[in-house]
Amino acid sequence: MTAVLDCLIHGGAVITGDGSTCLDTASVGLLHGYVEMVLPGKLEQPVSARQTIDATGCLVFPGIINAHAHNCVIGPSMPSGSAPPIPAAVSWQRNRHLLSGTTTLLNVCGFALPQELEDCDPHPLDVHLSTAHSPANFRAAQSVDGAGLRERHLCMTIELALAMGAKALGEVGGGQTLGGGAQEYRFIPEAVKRFTGCDIHPHVARRLRDAIVGRYLRPQDGVDDDELQAVLVSCRLANVLTPTSARDLIVASVMPSVDLALAGFEELARHSEQTGYPAIFHNSTPSVGTLLEISGKHPGARLVAGHSNHPMFLPEEAVAYATQLKERGVAIDVSTLDCIVTRWRNHASNLDALVSSGLVDTLSTDFAGGHWDAILEAIHRIIRKQQMTPAAAIALATGNVARIFPQLAADRGLIEKGRRADLVIADRTNCARVREVIIKGKLVVANGAILERSGPACR
């Protein structure tokens, strides 16, 4: 090799992202934004580089590719097409992702436009958009909210969005339109607040929803009035809600968008089959039957079952449904939500069950009301519990994602010559402790802090 490297990272253990390769000691050379060399073992000969990074005691692995995140663009929020997040909130979310090792992110709210991606302040995180601009998805969003949708959004089509650079289809359905997390932390509490003046915790919203329409959103599965009265008493709401008024509130909040959201599954599965782009689906108890159905009807589609560890599943249900979906060629995604460290509403039992069963293809964060845990926290948990090797666990958020989302990440996700130089250097004992982040050869996080936007390349 005659060229002078821009950067040489040496002394660390290198996990390449292919699911199996872990080099106990190796050096990685970067040139012009790409990986130029991977040299196993200790350096025996000096290598000429403009800058060197000593990674002794650290892991070096590909930058995390998060293919299911929200509110990282100033555009319509979530599959409900809600009002856009404010710029400060977008910056906050992007900074959190970057500092936790994410280098490429797919914002899957579904209705944002390319110009809205450009409206954000420049940021080192590489953010891309998905598209869910189809008739049923618009109707579902408007039935529950739609406050962020303008004529320019409603005029957009999936074909045009893909031509303008969207990298995937979806998210089809969401916690707002299919009775999930956003109903628990936003829509049901807002409805109760309007009617009673009382604030309720998302746990209470979940109990009311499950009691009245069941985990599969079938009102016939709800409890009788006596049982519902007992729930209201235990939730300290019996003085402001009756069984009848509680039913009316929950049904009005949850049910109008359900059939419309499920109709969007067919539309995007058809587009995926026609275009070859992956389509991300909200996978939970109300939608898994539809997802199984369309996976049989559209065998040529590239379907991704988003957050297959959704809390509306029991662990045994999550495993059984993921097994069926995987047998039909559907990629199984799990999300950290807030179940690893934060534990605001959720816990890790479904994630643990799916990982232990060998069913997981990719890891993402989703949103969890903004309280999501970092992907590397989940990877650290998987490694610590010895459910997977470090190389296999890290592949869930790197090489596997690049394979399933080629339009997003075909040039990244692996540390090998010719791949884009997106890298993370983290503590070897706990990979969630990120030290450095490099994006396209540029050092953007050093010693756990984001460098100035105009900071130098890694040289």
Residues 74 and 106 placed together within one structural domain of the fold: yes
Distance between CA atoms of residues 337 and 326, nearest Å? 22
pLDDT of residue 95: 97
Residues 269-285 have pLDDT tens digits of 999 999 999 999 999 99
Residues 165 and 273 placed together within one structural domain of the fold: yes
pLDDT of residue 333: 98
Which band of pLDDT confidence, cut at 50, 70 and 90, is reported for residue 45?
confident
Residues 112 and 154 placed together within one structural domain of the fold: yes
CATH number for the domain spanning 429: value is 2.30.40.10
218, part of any domain: yes
Residues 278 and 200 placed together within one structural domain of the fold: no
Residue pair 27/10 in contact (Cβ under 8 Å)? The answer is yes
272, part of any domain: yes
Identify the domain boundary among 254, 281, 304: 254
Residues 316-369 have pLDDT tens digits of 999 999 999 999 999 999 999 999 999 988 999 999 999 999 999 999 999 999
First-last CA distance in the chain: 17
CATH number for the domain spanning 171: value is 3.20.20.140
- Whether residue 44 is predicted with pLDDT greater than 90 in this model: the reply is no
For the record, the structure tokens of 90 come out as 């977008």
Could you give the angle at the alpha carbon of 196 between the alpha carbons of 195 and 199, nearest 5°? Answer: 110
pLDDT of residue 46: 86
Q: Is the peptide bond before 452 cis (omega within 30 degrees of 0)?
A: no
Average pLDDT over residues 57-67: 98
Which band of pLDDT confidence, cut at 50, 70 and 90, is reported for residue 16?
very high
- Whether residue 206 is predicted with pLDDT greater than 60 in this model: the reply is yes
SS3 content of the chain, % helix, strand, coil (to 5): 35, 20, 40
- Whether residue 295 is predicted with pLDDT greater than 60 in this model: the reply is yes
Average pLDDT in the chain: 96
Residues 138 and 113 placed together within one structural domain of the fold: yes
Which band of pLDDT confidence, cut at 50, 70 and 90, is reported for residue 455?
very low
Identify the domain boundary among 347, 373, 399: 373
Distance between CA atoms of residues 241 and 246, nearest Å? 6
- Whether residue 371 is predicted with pLDDT greater than 80 in this model: the reply is yes
- Whether residue 454 is predicted with pLDDT greater than 80 in this model: the reply is no
Residues 20 and 76 placed together within one structural domain of the fold: no
Residues 52 and 122 placed together within one structural domain of the fold: no
Burial label for 112, CB within 10 Å (0-12, 13-18, 19+), is: buried
194, part of any domain: yes
Region of poorest pLDDT, from 116-125, 141-150, 243-252, 424-433: 116-125
Average pLDDT over residues 395-419: 98
Bridge partners (DSSP) of residue 66 are 105
Residues 362 and 424 placed together within one structural domain of the fold: no
Distance between CA atoms of residues 336 and 184, nearest Å? 17
Identify the domain boundary among 356, 373, 390: 373
Report the number of distinct structural domains present in the chain.
3
Residues 160-188 have pLDDT tens digits of 999 999 999 999 999 999 999 999 999 99
pLDDT of residue 119: 81
- Whether residue 118 is predicted with pLDDT greater than 90 in this model: the reply is no
Distance between CA atoms of residues 34 and 418, nearest Å? 6
Phi and psi angles of residue 236, each rounded to the nearest 5 degrees, phi first: 60, 40
pLDDT of residue 85: 96
- Whether residue 458 is predicted with pLDDT greater than 60 in this model: the reply is no
pLDDT of residue 2: 54
Distance between CA atoms of residues 414 and 402, nearest Å? 8
386, part of any domain: no
Distance between CA atoms of residues 213 and 188, nearest Å? 13
407, part of any domain: no
Residues 45 and 82 placed together within one structural domain of the fold: no
Residues 139 and 113 placed together within one structural domain of the fold: yes
Percent of the chain residues topping a pLDDT of 70: 98
**454 contact partners, CB below 8 Å, separation of at least 6:** none
Tell me which residue range forms the domain holding 231. Answer: 181-254
Beta strand 52-54 with 34-40 is: unpaired
Distance between CA atoms of residues 142 and 91, nearest Å? 27
pLDDT of residue 459: 36
Distance between CA atoms of residues 137 and 280, nearest Å? 13
Residues 298 and 169 placed together within one structural domain of the fold: yes
Which band of pLDDT confidence, cut at 50, 70 and 90, is reported for residue 452?
confident
402, part of any domain: no
Residues 152 and 127 placed together within one structural domain of the fold: yes
